[in-house]
Amino acid sequence: MTSRIRYRGAGGAAYITLARPDRRNSLDLATLDELGRSVRRARADDVRVVVLAADGDAFSVGGDLVAIAAADDREQYVEDLAETLHRAITELHNLEAVVVSVVTGVAAGAGVALAAAADVVLAAHSARFSIAYTKVGLSPDGGTSLLSASLGLHRALYLALLNPLLTAEEAMTAGLVAEVHPDDELPAAVERVVGTLLTGSRTAQVVAKRLLRCASSPDPAWVMRREALTIRAAVGSADAQEGIAAFLDKRRPRFPSAGGSSAGDAG
């Protein structure tokens, strides 16, 4: 099977790249299994910096709805998907390395959660962000709930409930993105950040990462477990069935719980 994740080590840094551009780096179980193995390889290699990036015109559009729709047991598949993603994110949080995500193109759903799992988020001017779960009748996972600590409760609720498509600059204003650069200047900016981290005090960086993450969310594992159980229940709902079908059919959903109105209808 073709690798869905590329791993490269160089000078104390590990570069982990989502390599499924034909599917806009959507996240199925095989991709997330490979992601977890790559993060564990970075730990074994004792790198100081991990750079998480993606091939193609999207960072990641989130969970692979085609794979979810095709699963014999959607509830079990989506729980397995969430738990596998959550293990990888927990391992990123616990690395004794600074994690830098590099977002080009669209990050949606779990793609936003994965980008936000990094300690520092860099974005191209072309990047766009949308939480998007409720657009298909699903509840957030991937640690999206943790964004309430970094963005503020009401801003996080706004993003989760109305699903606006944020520009890179808007995401930076919201507090999700640290730096925005023109697309052609982003690679140089990434190497500058990596170089700064590699020449800094590893001891201080690791302690700072632990302290700030603990202060923002004392028990992220519990938060993500609750997300996994919630999305498992949500995917079996009539709303999720309609939302996923509408997404695959490229039409607006008519959620049963909304009385059959299409998303965006006035009433």
The answer, yes or no, to whether residue 139 has pLDDT greater than 80, is yes
Average pLDDT, the chain: 94
Max alpha carbon distance in the chain (Å)?
58
Helix (H, G, I), strand (E, B) or coil at 229: helix
Who contacts 240 (Cβ-Cβ below 8 Å, separation ≥6)?
Answer: 136, 137, 138, 234
The answer, yes or no, to whether residue 266 has pLDDT greater than 60, is no
Q: Which 8-state DSSP code applies to residue 20?
A: -
Q: List, for residues 223-252, the tens digit of each pLDDT value.
A: 999 999 999 999 999 999 999 999 999 999
CB 64 within 8 A of CB 28: yes
- φ/ψ of residue 167, rounded to 5: -70, 170
Q: Which CATH architecture has domain 5-182+201-216?
A: Alpha-Beta Complex (3.90)
pLDDT at 260: 54
Q: List, for residues 79-88, the tens digit of each pLDDT value.
A: 999 999 999 9
pTM to 2 decimal places: 0.93
Q: List, for residues 52-64, the tens digit of each pLDDT value.
A: 999 999 999 999 9
CB 48 within 8 A of CB 30: no
Who contacts 12 (Cβ-Cβ below 8 Å, separation ≥6)?
Answer: 47, 48, 49, 198
Q: Which residues pair with 123 in a beta bridge?
A: 103, 180
Confidence band, pLDDT 50/70/90 cuts, at residue 19? very high
- φ/ψ of residue 70, rounded to 5: -85, -10
* Averaged pLDDT, 202-226: 93
